[in-house]
Amino acid sequence: MTAEEVDHFHEFGWVKLKGFVDPGVLRAMLDDAREKMGDDADSNPLSPGLAAAVAEGRTGLSYFNAQRGSGLSHPVIRPLIHDAGRSAKRLQRRTTADGADLDVRYYSDFFVPKLPAAKESRHGGNGPTAFHQDFITFSVDRSGGMTFWIPLEPYGPEAGTMSFVNGSHRAGVLGDYTTYGDGDALDAFPELRELPMSDPMTYELGDVTVHTHLTIHGAGSNTMDRPRWAYLLVTQPADVRWNGSPCPNFDSTAMKPWEPFGDERFPVIS
C-alpha cells in the first residue's frame, strides 16, 4: 500500500487497492463460499429469524445474502486477514500515548453474494443496496473502523458494485439505515447530494476497496445471470469498546456497556 493510497483513503473515505489479494487465495475463498452456500449462493440454511420471516411472506436483506465466515480458522483466509489488519493499521493513522501506531482488531467476516436481480431468491439478497452508512450498526463507541470489500472474481457495474460519496465520512454519524423511511441516506440528508460520487467500481482479479464506517455508499442490482461473490472483513481500532446497544454481529450477553472488546473473539490482527 502506497502513501498516495493512504492519502486517498483519508481524503475521500475509501480507497481501491489494486492487486491486493493473490488469485490463488481468491480461488480458495470462492471454493469455501460455494461449499457453504451452493453454486447459486442461495442454498445455505435459513437462519431462524429469516425462516420465520419467510414463513410470514417476508425476505431477508435485500442487497446480499450474508453468510458468516470462518476466516480466522481458515488456513488460507487467516493470513489475508492479518495482511488486511496491517494495512488497516496504516490507514487508521492513530497512535497510542507512547507514540506507537495503534493496533487493529478483528470484528467480523462474511461472504456476501449479491444474487441475480432477475431470479427469485429464498434469502432475498437480489436487490440494489440503498445508500447508507455502516457505523451505527456495529454498536461501538468510537469511529476508526473500516471494511475491506473483497470481490472473489472480476466484476464491473453490471454486477452491482459499490459507489462511494466522496468526503461523506466527514459528515459524522448519520443514523441507521432503517430510520430513512422509503428513501436512503441521500434522501434523509440531501446535502450529501452536493458531494461528488465515485463511479461504480470495476474490479480486476485481486483488487479490493476499503471504506470507513462513516462513508456513505450504495450499489445497484446484480444484472448478471449469476451471483456476485464477495467477502467482507470488518476491522476496528484496538481500543474500541461496546456501547451497550443490541447488535446482531456478536453475543453481548456476558458483556457490560463500555467494556473493551476482548482478544478471544476479537483478536488483534495487525
Residue 174 maps to a domain? yes
Instruction: Give pLDDT tens digits for 166-211.
Output: 999 999 999 998 899 999 999 999 999 999 999 999 999 999 999 9
pLDDT at residue 249, rounded to an integer: 87
**Cβ-based burial of 169 (10 A; exposed 0-12, middle 13-18, buried ≥19):** buried
pLDDT at residue 49, rounded to an integer: 63
Residue 140 maps to a domain? yes
* Segments forming the whole domain that contains residue 147: 3-42+60-237
Domain count, the chain: 1
Task: Note whether 162 and 210 are within 8 A (CB).
Answer: no
Residue 254 maps to a domain? no
49: which residues sit within 8 A by CB, 6+ positions away? none
Residue 22 maps to a domain? yes
181: which residues sit within 8 A by CB, 6+ positions away? 187, 188
H helix or E strand, kind and range, residue 233: strand 230-237
pLDDT at residue 152, rounded to an integer: 98
pLDDT at residue 1, rounded to an integer: 86
pLDDT at residue 70, rounded to an integer: 86
CA distances from 208 to 15, 118, 236 (A): 8, 26, 18
CA distances from 122 to 34, 104, 108, 178 (A): 16, 36, 24, 22
Task: Note whether 60 and 53 are within 8 A (CB).
Answer: yes
pLDDT at residue 189, rounded to an integer: 97
* Cell numbers found for residue 142: 468510537
pLDDT at residue 262, rounded to an integer: 87
List the chain residues with pLDDT less than 50: none
Residue 27 maps to a domain? yes
Residue 247 maps to a domain? no
Cα 133-136-142 angle, rounded to 5 deg: 110
Residue 144: name the closest of 234, 47, 219, 251 by CA: 234
pLDDT at residue 224, rounded to an integer: 98
* Cell numbers found for residue 55: 414463513
pLDDT at residue 263, rounded to an integer: 87
pLDDT at residue 62, rounded to an integer: 84
pLDDT at residue 9, rounded to an integer: 98
CATH number at residue 183: 2.60.120.620
Strands of the sheet with 104-111, listed across from one edge:
14-17, 208-212, 146-151, 230-237, 104-111, 67-68
Q: Is 101 helix (H, G, I), strand (E, B) or coil?
A: strand
